[in-house]
């Protein structure tokens, strides 16, 4: 009603029987409603300018930060048959404790004295290699002796050859002298016969001269024979010198052949000994694999192979163990559109299964029952479901995570991003825009750069 005229309709005619006219009259209750409406709109308008923390929400589960502290499965290195269990499921074991023992199922490992007998084979092969080594040394000494003997024999043969050459020269000179004496004896015999014919010499002188000529003639023959014998000795000396080299080469070749044969046998024995030593080491290591030991301190989670006498193969799973020490972390998965917002060192809030919490995602300071974390690793490739894995560790600046928190517990992660006004967040959500990719400092620097 504008109330322009001072004449009131209700004063001219009563409204007792006019319900429609009664409704046109403004009552105090309706005025209060209008006031409340305007007040609520004002409050909502002011709330649009309140700060709002953008966030990314994702589910995950509790795990261990270090890979070596995560739950693992213990496998059997060798094939065998379960002989005895030493622990029960849920039991705590220290590193090196025996969990289960197995016995051999392969016939080549049945011998209870396998290691001592293999060691005897190793020792025998080592002694055989040592014997061949000593034989090689003896043959080396023999070869050196042959070389020294060959030098001495060749020197002796050269001396003998030189003596033979000198003997030939001497016999040649004697032969030449004998030939001169022969010629002289012929001339003397001729003169003696002529003198005898002339009667100047007696027959006795002639016969004496003939005897002397016979002696000279015999001397020539003897000296010539000696010369031929000396020449024959010279040839023999040369042959002997050549034979020494040939005999030395033959003996040296045989000795070197024996040495190479001994060396080959030595290397073969050493190779066999090394192979046996390797086999002994394998047997010794295999003996240790007959007892399945705990790799670290932890709790036995579940026995995969059960019972006694059950046969297992190499690499079969035996039991699961959960390490008792290590730093907890949370694996959470985010979509590719949110990946650029994740940075190592960014804060994350968690709601763990079993711990009640009152959460205001946009106002994290008002939340209660949440725990802080810090991003320590982000996968570089998408996993199953085309999502990226983010590993979050406990925030040392926040309240410590619950001590009774166990690996595998569910965790609802809230990654806190930038602080923006509420109206901006509503506008972003209505338009389907992603969260801000810049921090406030980066925005201010960008605006200053534009100016």
pLDDT by residue (tens digit) across 34-52?
778 887 888 777 777 677 6
Which residues are within 8 A (CB) of 436 and not within 5 positions of it... i.e. 6 or more apart? Answer: 54, 417, 418, 420, 443
Q: Are 241 and 154 in contact (CB under 8 A)?
A: yes
Which residues are within 8 A (CB) of 259 and not within 5 positions of it... i.e. 6 or more apart? Answer: 136, 139, 140, 143
Q: Given CA atoms 330, 334, 336, 339 in this order, what sign does their dihedral have?
A: negative
For the chain, domain boundaries: 1-47, 52-65+327-450, 69-98+290-323, 114-288
Q: Which CATH number fits domain 69-98+290-323: 2.40.50.100, 3.50.50.60, 3.30.70.20, 3.40.1180.10?
A: 2.40.50.100
444 pLDDT higher than 60:
no
Q: How many CA atoms lie within 13 A of 59 on its CB side?
A: 4
pLDDT for 241 = 76
pLDDT for 40 = 82
374 pLDDT higher than 50:
yes
pLDDT for 449 = 55
Mean pLDDT of the chain: 77
**pLDDT band (50, 70, 90) for residue 164:** confident
358 pLDDT higher than 60:
no
Mean pLDDT calculated for residue range 414-434: 68
CATH of domain 52-65+327-450: 2.40.30.170
Neighbour-count burial of 194, counting CB atoms closer than 10 A to its CB (0-12 exposed, 13-18 middle, 19+ buried): exposed
pLDDT for 55 = 66
Which secondary-structure segment (H or E) carries 406?
Answer: none
More confident residue, 438 or 415: 415
Share of the chain above pLDDT 90, in %: 0
Q: Are 200 and 241 in contact (CB under 8 A)?
A: no
pLDDT by residue (tens digit) across 112-154?
788 888 888 888 888 888 888 898 888 888 888 888 888 888 8
Instruction: Determine the Cα–Cα distance for residues 317 and 81; give it in Å rounded to an integer.
Output: 13
pLDDT by residue (tens digit) across 66-94?
888 888 888 888 888 888 888 888 888 88
CATH of domain 114-288: 1.10.287
Least confident of 20-24, 160-164, 395-399: 20-24
- Distance (Å) of CA 191 to CA 177, 183, 184, 185, 215: 21, 13, 11, 10, 17
pLDDT by residue (tens digit) across 271-292?
888 898 888 888 888 888 888 8
Q: Given CA atoms 442, 443, 446, 451 in this order, what sign does their dihedral have?
A: negative
pLDDT for 15 = 52
Which of 110, 80, 109 lies closest to 309, judged by CA?
80
Q: What ranges make up the beta strands (E) of 365-427?
A: 371-378, 388-394, 410-421
Least confident of 43-57, 112-126, 301-315, 395-409: 43-57
Q: Are 374 and 347 in contact (CB under 8 A)?
A: yes
Mean pLDDT calculated for residue range 5-17: 54
Instruction: Determine the Cα–Cα distance for residues 84 and 307; give it in Å rounded to an integer.
Output: 9
Q: Which two tokens stand for residue 32?
A: 């209060």
pTM value surpassing 0.75? no
Letter string b/e over residues 247-259, b meaning 16 or more CB atoms within 10 A of that residue's CB: ebeeeeeebeebb
Residue count of the chain, please give it: 451
């Amino acid at each position: 009603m504008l109330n322009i005229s001072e004449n009131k309709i209700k004063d001219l005619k009563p409204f007792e029987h006019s319900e429609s006219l009664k409704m046109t009259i403004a009552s105090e209750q309706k005025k209060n409603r209008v006031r409340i409406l305007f007040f609520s709109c004002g409050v909502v308008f002011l709330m649009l300018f309140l700060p709002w923390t953008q966030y990314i929400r994702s589910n995950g589960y509790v795990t261990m930060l270090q890979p070596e502290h995560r739950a693992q499965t213990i496998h059997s290195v060798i094939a065998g048959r379960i002989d005895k269990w030493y622990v029960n499921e849920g039991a705590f074991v220290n590193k090196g404790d025996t969990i289960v023992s197995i016995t051999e199922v392969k016939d080549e490992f049945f011998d209870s004295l396998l290691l001592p007998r293999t060691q005897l084979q190793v020792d025998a092969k080592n002694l055989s290699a040592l014997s061949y080594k000593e034989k090689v040394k003896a043959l080396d000494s023999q070869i050196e002796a042959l070389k020294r003997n060959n030098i001495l024999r060749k020197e002796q043969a050269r001396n003998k050859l030189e003596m033979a050459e000198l003997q030939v020269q001497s016999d040649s000179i004697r032969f030449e002298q004998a030939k001169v004496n022969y010629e002289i004896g012929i001339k003397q015999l001729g003169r003696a016969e002529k003198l005898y014919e002339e009667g100047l010499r007696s027959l006795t002188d002639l016969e004496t001269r003939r005897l002397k000529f016979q002696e000279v003639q015999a001397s020539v023959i003897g000296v010539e024979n000696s010369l031929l014998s000396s020449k024959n000795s010279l040839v023999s000396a040369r042959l002997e010198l050549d034979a020494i080299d040939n005999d030395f080469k033959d003996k040296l070749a045989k000795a070197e052949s024996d040495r190479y044969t001994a060396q080959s046998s030595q290397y073969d024995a050493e190779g066999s000994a090394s192979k046996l030593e390797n086999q002994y080491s394998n047997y010794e290591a295999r003996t240790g694999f007959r007892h399945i030991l705990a790799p670290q301190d932890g709790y036995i989670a579940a026995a995969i192979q059960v019972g006694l006498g059950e046969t297992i193969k190499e690499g079969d799973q035996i039991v699961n163990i959960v390490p008792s020490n290590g730093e907890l972390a949370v694996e959470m998965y985010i979509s590719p559109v949110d990946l650029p917002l994740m940075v190592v060192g960014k804060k994350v809030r968690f709601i763990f299964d079993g711990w009640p919490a009152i959460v205001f995602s946009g106002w994290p300071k008002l939340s209660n029952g949440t725990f802080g974390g810090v991003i320590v690793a982000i996968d570089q490739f998408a996993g199953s479901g085309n999502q990226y894995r983010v590993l979050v560790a406990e925030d040392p600046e926040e309240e410590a995570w619950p001590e009774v928190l166990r690996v595998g517990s569910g965790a609802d992660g809230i990654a806190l991003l930038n602080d923006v006004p509420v109206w901006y967040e509503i506008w972003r959500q209505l338009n389907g825009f992603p969260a801000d990719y810049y921090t406030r400092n980066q925005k201010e620097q960008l605006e200053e750069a534009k100016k």
